[in-house]
Amino acid sequence: MYHHNGNRFQRNFSQGRRRQIKSFDPSNLIRKNVHIQAEDQPYTPTNSFTSFPISDILKRNISTRGYITPTPVQDQTIPLILEGKDIIGIANTGTGKTAAFLIPLINEVTQNRNKKVLIIVPTRELAVQIKNEFLLFSKGMNIYCVLVIGGVNLFRQKNDLRRNPNFVIGTPGRIKDMIEHKSLDLSTFEIIVLDEVDQMVDIGFISSIKYFISLLASNRQSLFFSATVDGKVREILNGFVRNPVTVSVKKQDMLKNIKHNVIRISDKSRKIEKLHDLLIQKEFEKVLIFGRTKWGVQRLSEELLKRGFNADVIHGNKKQSQRLRILDKFKRNEIQILLATDLASRGLDIDNVTHVINYDPPESYEVYIHRIGRTGRLNKIGTALTFV
């Protein structure tokens, strides 16, 4: 079923993740050996969640969340944030980065209720994910958080901001709206988090981010997280952090626990049949399918529904409330197959996705990385398949 071509796999990776590839060939990214490989030296954390100098109620919430051993980025970053350091965090998606900054920042606010934290992320889905994590970690602590994202009533969000929340989590477009409406004063925030900065640059928010930085108070703690730091990302970095500590736990772009394969189709009319044959296999338990256009994924979703598959779709024409409802169903396994455009590959954190299928090939190496990062998260096994 699968065609393997692993000869150039490592060479392509060594050339760097962010390089745009005009004629991207996914077959260059196929592993010859698809067995799961263990890390040469398993990471041994220095800290435990019980040993961190944080409040007892926060420790209980962490335990209830099911967190036992800190991931490398959590182990190395949490103590530094608690010390008030500026951070440059370089880590792959799915490494526990959200908890790495939320846990110490929630603790900081419990010690000083006047502190305000602004978290800026590239997509609505990621903002919602971070707020959901926040609610779990801060349960019973009486800390208020507001989402500032598009697709939701602006005036309701303006009213929420008047309550002077400790945490504001938002996307660049709506944050800019709130600044222009004089509902958000960035100079009042003592702690700023820029998360997934490389993705914000990819989407085209570099000028907005530079504008936000110009409005921040000079006396602040700045936390900067990105999968890579180069080019335009460094432009943002240079004006954002002061005397930062760099924490890099990113060992490779392609996680070793993701199997990469291509599905070669010579007759385009047979493409849907090949997809059908894959999806009926038992191991395809929870599947994320990517297409390039919202019209394409919508049509494909309708076709899969006609064929009896339990599927739904998210794209730019869906209302924010619809997208969140569909994502929630996929998370709770009420939907087996979720179809999405590339926008959805940025920030989705869904447990136990067994397969990512690139029904339309990605346009570049970086898009491939973002897509397939939805599976094989936190050392779980995943498979990425690309139609060519």
What's the CATH code of the domain at 105? 3.40.50.300
Which of 212, 233, 248 is at the close of a domain?
248
Spatial neighbors of 381 by CB under 8 A, at least 6 apart, are 36, 257, 258, 259
Question: Same structural domain for residues 66 and 21?
Answer: no
**In the prediction, which pLDDT does 42 show?**
72
Using the 3D structure, point to which of 217, 248, 279 is the last residue of a domain: 248
pLDDT, mean of each 10-residue run, the chain (388 residues)? 37 38 55 39 86 96 93 95 96 84 97 96 90 96 95 92 96 96 96 92 89 95 89 89 89 66 87 94 94 92 94 85 87 93 69 91 77 75 89
- Can you name the residues that pair with 148 across neighbouring β-strands? 170
Containing 275, the helix (H) or strand (E) segment is helix 271-279
Task: Provide the strand spans (E) within 195-249.
Answer: 221-226, 245-248
Q: What is the pLDDT of residues 280-315, one digit of tens each?
A: 999 999 999 999 898 999 999 999 999 999 999 998
Whether 233 and 98 map to the same domain: the answer is yes
Tell me which long-range contacts 60-65 makes (C-beta under 8 A, separation of at least 24): 61/136, 61/137, 61/138, 61/139, 61/140, 61/141, 62/99, 62/103, 62/137, 64/136, 64/139, 65/136, 65/137
**335 plus 364 within the same structural domain:** yes
Neighbours of 382 (CB within 10 A): 24
Is residue 96 in a domain? Answer: yes
Q: Are residues 202 and 284 in the same domain?
A: no
Domain that holds residue 352: 9-39+253-387
Q: Provide the token pair at 356.
A: 């990512």
Please check whether residue 288 lies inside any domain of the structure.
Answer: yes
- With a CB cutoff of 8 Å and minimum separation 6, the contacts of 90 are 225, 226, 227, 228, 229, 246, 247, 248, 249, 250
**Closest by alpha carbon to 31, among 227, 251, 255?**
255
- Quick check: is 204 in a domain? yes
Of 76, 155, 144, 81, the closest CA to residue 110 belongs to: 144
* pLDDT score, position 13: 34
Domain check: are 28 and 83 in the same one? Answer: no
Residue 48 is assigned to a structural domain of this protein: no
How far separated are the first and last CA of the chain, in Å rounded?
A: 13
Residue 211: inside a domain: yes
Based on the structure, what is the number of domains in the chain?
Answer: 2
Amino acid sitting at position 101: F
Q: Is residue 50 part of a domain?
A: no
Same domain, 194 and 243: yes
Put residue 16 in one of left, alpha, beta given phi > 0 → left and psi -120 to 50 → alpha: left
Q: Residue 32: count other Cβ atoms within 10 Å of its Cβ.
A: 9
Tokens standing for residue 275: 């997809």
Q: What is the pLDDT of residue 276?
A: 96
Which pLDDT belongs to residue 346?
Answer: 61
